[in-house]
Structure 1
Amino acid sequence: MKLWDKGTATHQAIEQFTVGRDREMDLYLAPWDVLGTLAHIRMLQSIGLLTQEELGTLTTELRAIHRNIEAGEFAIEEGIEDVHSQVELMLTRKLGDMGKKVHSGRSRNDQVLVDLKLFIRGELRHLVQDIRMLFNRLIILSEKHRQVLLPGYTHFQVAMPSSFGLWFGAYAESLTDDLQLLLAAYRINDQNPLGSAAGYGSSFPLNRQMTTDLLGFERLNWNVVYAQMGRGKVERTVAFALASLGGTLARLAMDATLYMSQNFGFISFPDELTTGSSIMPHKKNPDVWELIRARGNRLQALPNEIGMLTANLPSGYHRDLQLVKESFIPSFADARACLQMCDLMLENIRVRTDILDDDRYRYLFSVEEVNKEVLSGVPFRDAYKKVGQAIANGQFNPEKTVHHTHEGSIGNPGNDPIAAKMDALLHEFHFERSESAERRLLTE
């Protein structure tokens, strides 16, 4: 079954090539397709294209389909082109001609647009929860280990004292910037395209503000041509935010992989969170962190892939956009899996507290010694030369302590304002509006 079927058979090879993996990807969109249809039929009844009785019957059946989807009992049958066709077929089988009425005033173009936007909104809701979970873990670890010193490096050379408090807290603050980008993407996504049809509107007197309110969108995509142009653009915008998150996770994973190696030995994990070698019995491999690094890097590649798929497309719908779903839709599961595994690993991290007792880190305190000279009245350049000469002559014997008090330093990492920044961003998502709208469509 195809919604565009006019009685002419399509060549099997053409059908297989054009459908591709769409049925597989559309399973992710199924609950949102039903939700969009529930809002659409309420609007159709309000403008006289459905009776009140038809609305009640269709609503009951659509809610039953939604329950089947949630229970994992929904499938797109062989020979059915996509989720939109499957849902309409199920309605028609059960309700006859009444089921054929739900497509009035819309096209598959705006139908998939609204499905994707609802899917993105739902996935961002879950993703933000997982970001908050990892953020909280990092802040707790930063506070717990704020006095534990850690070598800082530049150019992979021992540089200056850092601390585990700063290391954990740095990634916490990085997540706030990632969340800022996700918030911007969320707002761009939170605009209703339903009613734009194939991208040129409809001669039906549609009430697009009504479906906007019913679905819990913040506002409309007003211009119907631009609503269609948003396909691909929204995904690319969200992908940029996911890429930023991927960058944070990949860098954290690289640090952890490096720090748990024998040549560093700064951190360790229980045996059950590492893997072994088939030939070397001493190995404890950081496979989890390496896969987080790889998945994070794949997220960073996502905007480029979507950008290349959509490059130079003119206005209007084009089938190229179908392929965007194949890399974009699974990216949320990848990001969430990485966040959850990061949290699990960090929950069980073991931090070494005596790292700087090793004499190899004695030069780590050279800047501290220069600063002491400056505080006693020696000009900075003279102090720099004095300490440098002591190092060259083998006479450098530093006091291995630090006295950093400024904002964001070892002694004052700024975790409270960083947490306040995170809380302020979380409040701007207004998930309660969309959650309430979805609940009403499915129950009232």
Structure 2
Amino acid sequence: MTKLWDKGYQINHDLEAFMAGSDPLLDLKIAKYDCLASIAHAKMLATINLLSPTECEALTSELKEIIKLLVTDSFNIDMDQEDIHTAIENHLIAKLGDIGKKIHTGRSRNDQVLTALRLYSKAKLEDIYQSMIAALEVFYAFTSKYQNIPYVGRTHFQKAMPSSFGLWGGAMLESLLDDIKLINNAYQIIDQSPLGSAASYGVNLELDREYSSQEMGFNKVQNNVLYANNSRGKFEGIIIHGLSQIMLDLAKLSTDIIIFAAPEFGYLNLPEEFCPGSSLMPNKKNPDPFELIRAKSASVISKLMQVMEISRGLPSGYNRDFQETKEPLISSFEITQQSLEVVALIMAKVTVNEEKCLAGFSPEVFATDHALALATSGVPFRDAYRETALNIDKLELNDPVSNILAKKHQGATGNLGLDLLYQQIQDLKQNSLG
């Protein structure tokens, strides 16, 4: 196998394996996008007469054949090929001879991998966007159905004030809607073509970077060829930051569900099909999926830190360190995608036990409402607070449903604004990223 940097000598085999790392496996995930970028590059080379129309057609046709092989898992990368770029070029040379040797004209593996990862990231962000909409719809249906069922809200995990599943669900919905804004912002930032930046410094050819950018569907060309390479790591960090915010929300959701579904609470009923058992204890039905999501949120956050730390101390231009940012990016996409799908799957079948929710109320939960009632009658609030605090044992149990419905100010339990959230979700369904 010929290496793209072949100088007539053989690199040490053990060192070669070390440097290739996991790229032969990871690169299969971006192989399709490398082919698409190569097709655009070939067409661009033809427009500036560095490829003939016949040569361009031959390369384009063979690159499309590689994409077909990838679909059927029939295209592999050998360890001594190092990466997908070498594997594809060697395949083209084997099939097309000297024509295959022309595909790399005017580019480096640096802008190749940048472009492939950029195209891959755009596609995966779109997948995340669609999965978030699906999860939002499921969660909206849950929230709308159970919005007027009250339960005891907590601060410091102590009984605080009446809450409701409408308030809880609405909070999750609004947070995820903000996360979509982060995903959209990440998409807009990365939607620029780095192809033509070569090894960070451009080339002495009349490359038509705008042409290849449009061929690949980018919004614009990433202008400065040095910044194109400097943005590797930075752009991955921007993406993973957005994904980590989604996972933070799913982690909080998971912890709440684990608590609410515990027998001592019993607010939520988790279907048995989503609750593995214990190998020892016959009585156990465990909320394993939510525990894993909570743990995986830490994994995504750690990958954000990994990418930022790898990039932090590097000088301008390409550095081999960037190879180590590929796995955190790909893994973060996969973890977040799977987590969103699992949450949507389970939440579609979770139900609320209204009886258990009402049973959790005790008189002291209404202490704040009592103090505020005194304040509205003319008692200074600080005096009303002290009087209530000194007479907690004399408070009476109120009707929780009436209580939550009576709180009518914007965003409170009796005025959730779910119709506004519903409209936002519908608007998202009509649009795409960018």
- TM-score when normalising by structure 2: 0.95
Quote how far apart the aligned CAs of 1:207 are.
Answer: 0.3
Show the counterpart of 1:229: 230
Show the counterpart of 2:419: 416
Quote how far apart the aligned CAs of 1:377 are.
Answer: 3.3
| Structure 2 CA distance for aligned equivalents of residues 272 and 428 of structure 1 | 34
Structure 2 vs 1, CA of residues 182 and 49 (structure 1 numbering), >3 Å: closer, same or farther?
A: same
Show the counterpart of 1:399: 398
Over residues 94-132 of structure 1, what are the superposed CA-to-partner deviations in whole Å (9 max), with x where a residue is unaligned? 111001111001000000000010010010010111011
Equivalent AA in structure 2 for residue 3 of structure 1:
L
Quote how far apart the aligned CAs of 1:363 are.
Answer: 1.4
| Structure 2 CA distance for aligned equivalents of residues 424 and 306 of structure 1 | 33
Contact 2:137/2:425 (<8 A) preserved:
no
| Structure 2 CA distance for aligned equivalents of residues 385 and 177 of structure 1 | 39
Q: Which stretch of the first structure deviates more once superposed, 69-78 or 343-352?
A: 69-78
Show the counterpart of 2:336: 335
Show the counterpart of 2:262: 261
Show the counterpart of 1:438: none
| Structure 2 CA distance for aligned equivalents of residues 267 and 240 of structure 1 | 31
Quote how far apart the aligned CAs of 1:372 are.
Answer: 2.5
| Structure 2 CA distance for aligned equivalents of residues 186 and 427 of structure 1 | 17
Quote how far apart the aligned CAs of 1:412 are.
Answer: 1.4
For these two proteins, the number of residue pairs brought into alignment is: 429
SS in 2 for 1:161: strand
Quote how far apart the aligned CAs of 1:382 are.
Answer: 2.8
Structure 2 vs 1, CA of residues 355 and 363 (structure 1 numbering), >3 Å: closer, same or farther?
A: farther
Contact 1:179/1:425 (<8 A) preserved:
no
SS in 2 for 1:103: coil
Show the counterpart of 2:65: 64
Quote how far apart the aligned CAs of 1:194 are.
Answer: 0.2
Show the counterpart of 1:193: 194
Equivalent AA in structure 2 for residue 228 of structure 1:
N
| Structure 1 CA distance for aligned equivalents of residues 339 and 256 of structure 2 | 15
Over residues 209-247 of structure 1, what are the superposed CA-to-partner deviations in whole Å (9 max), with x where a residue is unaligned? 001111111111101011110111111111111111110
Show the counterpart of 1:291: 292
Show the counterpart of 2:113: 112
Over residues 158-187 of structure 1, what are the superposed CA-to-partner deviations in whole Å (9 max), with x where a residue is unaligned? 001110111111111111111111111111
Quote how far apart the aligned CAs of 1:385 are.
Answer: 2.6
Contact 1:267/1:351 (<8 A) preserved:
yes
Cα RMSD of the aligned pairs, angstroms, is 1.6
Contact 1:110/1:197 (<8 A) preserved:
yes
Quote how far apart the aligned CAs of 1:374 are.
Answer: 2.8
Structure 2 vs 1, CA of residues 214 and 359 (structure 1 numbering), >3 Å: closer, same or farther?
A: closer
Contact 2:293/2:339 (<8 A) preserved:
yes
Question: Unaligned 5+ residue runs, structure 1?
Answer: 432-444
| Structure 1 CA distance for aligned equivalents of residues 390 and 302 of structure 2 | 47
1:16-415 → structure 2 map (5 Å cutoff): 16-358=17-359, 361-391=362-392, 394-400=393-399, 401-402=402-403, 403-415=406-418
Q: Which stretch of the first structure deviates more once superposed, 69-78 or 38-47?
A: 69-78
Contact 1:135/1:172 (<8 A) preserved:
yes
Contact 1:180/1:425 (<8 A) preserved:
no
